[in-house]
Amino acid sequence: MQQRVDCEFEAEVLAAVLQSRWPHRADPQLQKHAETCTICADVAAVAGLIDNAREQSRASATLPDSGRVWWLAQVKARREATKSAGRPITATQLIAGAAAVGFSGAVFGATCQWFQEALAGFSLSAALTEHTALASGMAAVIILVPAAAWLALRRD
């Protein structure tokens, strides 16, 4: 059999409790019902205590003034807006910086005579075989630095 979780007299008991009529000034029939009904007995037991606790808690609260809460909300909204507006600037600067480094490298490579001569005698496969650890380290840095920058930006 399914357990009963509400009672048709629950609201009446609750009203009697909240109006301080429970138990002595409540309808005797309602009192009698609550003696045998677990749901109404529970409502009678907890509702009054919760209502008293509510009064105590509300009375003991020391709240900031509404003007101060409004002002702090404005300050926070401005700070967040400034922060989010500043985020694209940082990303733009990162991209611009990377592009500038790339462009400078390309110009240097295209115009510098000795660099081109040095490059002509250079074998990538031979260098990689000879300096495997160094090459792996450099590759890791090339991958990890942008990843770290992205993570730091995302956290902001």
Partner 1 sequence: MFREMTFTDVNRAAVDAQADFVMDEDTFRAFYDRNARGVWAYLARVSGDRQTADDLLQETFYRFLRAAADHDSEEHRRNSLYRIATNLARDARRRTLTRPHADVAGHDIETIANRSDGDETSADFDRAMSRLKPRERAMLWLAYAEGASHREIAQVMGLRPASLKLLLFRARRRLATLLGRSETRNAAAR
Which residues sit at the interface with partner 1, rule CB under 8 A?
5-6, 14, 38-39, 41-43, 45-47, 49-54, 56-58, 60-64, 66-67, 69-70, 72-74, 76-78, 80-82, 84-86, 88-89, 91-92, 95
Task: Give least dist CB 109 to partner 1, A.
Answer: 27
Task: Give least dist CB 151 to partner 1, A.
Answer: 19
Classify burial at 41, counting beta carbons within 10 Å of its beta carbon; exposed 0-12, middle 13-18, buried 19 or more. Answer: middle
Nearer Cβ to partner 1, position 6 or 125? 6
Classify burial at 25, counting beta carbons within 10 Å of its beta carbon; exposed 0-12, middle 13-18, buried 19 or more. Answer: exposed
Task: Give least dist CB 102 to partner 1, A.
Answer: 17
CA 110 to CA 66: how far, in whole Å? 66
Is residue 59 within a helix (H) or strand (E), and if so which, with residue range? helix 38-60
Q: Of how many residues is the chain composed?
A: 156
Calculate the alpha carbon distances from 126 to 123, 129, 135 in Å.
5, 5, 12
Task: Give least dist CB 13 to partner 1, A.
Answer: 12
Nearer Cβ to partner 1, position 53 or 127? 53
Is residue 89 within a helix (H) or strand (E), and if so which, with residue range? helix 66-111
Task: Give least dist CB 63 to partner 1, A.
Answer: 5
Nearer Cβ to partner 1, position 74 or 116? 74
Nearer Cβ to partner 1, position 91 or 144? 91
Nearer Cβ to partner 1, position 33 or 135? 33
Amino acid of residue 1: M
